[in-house]
């Protein structure tokens, strides 16, 4: 039997927290709480499977349009998670990185993110990117802006920008291309997530709401990924 190929970078759109909570007769925020526990299950499963990098879409640049109380809840839960889960990330050997735009993001959230990034910077088992205040278009625009600034300041010359130079200006210059993108809860769209990095990603759309998934769900997705033939534009 062929050995299972493990995708190096798995990106996850954890959709359906709100609908799950409403279905259970709970507040939408209870869905995010349940979602956080599931996120940790996926992180543990990712380490166990030998995935090198996982990216989670936790708050998009468009999520600011949600009700002020839900935005507040999501900002606060982000802080709590970074604080409470730090020992577990360390123990698992997981390096935590924040990927996103600074503008508008709560200073207290940024400060917790800086702390956990610092604490886990030498962890090598897996990298977990928390995409908070993240938008794919914003990331591309911010990279272009940085390139223009670099050119104006004389730090960049030449008439053509290479892929490598462009990627260096992105939020996480070391992020690998996404091999597998998973979205839960029945929606089949990208919603502005990692637009540049998913160019050749395999995609899996699941009907289950995020809180209804677990370690086995990730294992099944990896099995499914192994049934795909990736050609990257070749024959
Ligand atoms: C999408 O479900 C989920 C989110 C916008 C937030 C996800 C956040 C967590 C799982 C908490 C963990 C946070 C961190 C920082 C680790 P939805 O609310 O759009 O669900 P719906 O489509 O059913 O309304």
Cα(99)–Cα(133) distance, integer angstroms: 8
Nearest CA to ligand 1 atom 12: 36
Whether ligand 1 lies within 6 angstroms of the CB of 79 is answered as no
HSE of 118 in the Cβ direction (CA atoms, 13 Å)?
7
Ligand 1 geometric centre to CA of 184 (Å)? 11
Whether ligand 1 lies within 6 angstroms of the CB of 14 is answered as yes
pLDDT in tens, 60-101: 999 999 999 999 999 999 999 999 999 999 999 999 999 999
pLDDT in tens, 91-131: 999 999 999 999 999 999 999 999 999 999 999 999 999 99
179 is catalytic: no
Cα(22)–Cα(19) distance, integer angstroms: 5
The 3-state DSSP class for residue 39 equals helix
176: CB partners within 8 A, 6+ apart: 8, 9, 52, 53, 197
Ligand 1 geometric centre to CA of 1 (Å)? 38
Ligand 1 geometric centre to CA of 231 (Å)? 33
Whether ligand 1 lies within 6 angstroms of the CB of 32 is answered as yes
pLDDT in tens, 23-55: 999 999 999 999 999 999 999 999 999 999 999
* Gyration radius of the chain's alpha carbons: 18
Cα(98)–Cα(131) distance, integer angstroms: 6
| Catalytically annotated residue among 63, 76, 192, 226 | 63
Closest listed residue to residue 100, CA positions, set 168, 172, 165: 172
Whether ligand 1 lies within 6 angstroms of the CB of 46 is answered as no
Ligand 1 geometric centre to CA of 58 (Å)? 6
pLDDT band at 235 (very low <50, low <70, confident <90, very high): confident
Whether ligand 1 lies within 6 angstroms of the CB of 211 is answered as no
The 3-state DSSP class for residue 94 equals strand
Nearest CA to ligand 1 atom 10: 35
First to last CA, the chain: 25
Nearest CA to ligand 1 atom 22: 16
H or E stretch including 182? strand 180-183
pTM (global) more than 0.85: yes
What value does the mean pLDDT of the chain take? 96
């Amino acid at each position: 039997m062929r050995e299972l190929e493990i995708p190096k970078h798995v990106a996850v759109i954890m959709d359906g927290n709100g609908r799950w909570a409403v279905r259970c007769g709970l507040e939408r925020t209870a869905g995010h709480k349940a979602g956080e526990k599931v996120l940790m299950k996926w992180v543990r499963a990712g380490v166990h499977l030998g995935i090198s990098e996982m990216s989670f879409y936790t708050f998009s640049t468009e999520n600011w349009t949600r009700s002020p109380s839900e935005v507040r809840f999501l900002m606060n839960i982000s802080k709590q998670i970074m604080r409470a889960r730090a020992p577990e990330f360390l123990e698992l050997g997981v390096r935590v990185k924040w990927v996103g735009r600074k503008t508008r993001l709560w200073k207290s959230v940024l400060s917790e993110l800086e702390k956990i990034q610092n604490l886990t910077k030498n962890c090598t088992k897996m990298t977990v990117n928390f995409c908070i205040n993240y938008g794919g278009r914003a990331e591309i625009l911010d990279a272009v802006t940085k390139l223009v600034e670099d050119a104006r300041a004389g730090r960049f010359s030449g008439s053509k920008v290479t892929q490598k130079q462009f990627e260096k200006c992105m939020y996480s210059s070391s992020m690998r291309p996404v091999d597998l993108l998973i979205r839960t809860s029945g929606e089949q769209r990208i919603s502005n997530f990692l637009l540049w990095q998913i160019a050749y990603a395999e995609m899996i759309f699941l009907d289950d709401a995020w809180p209804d998934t677990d370690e086995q769900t990730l294992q099944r997705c990896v099995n499914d990924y192994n049934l795909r033939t990736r050609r990257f534009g070749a024959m």
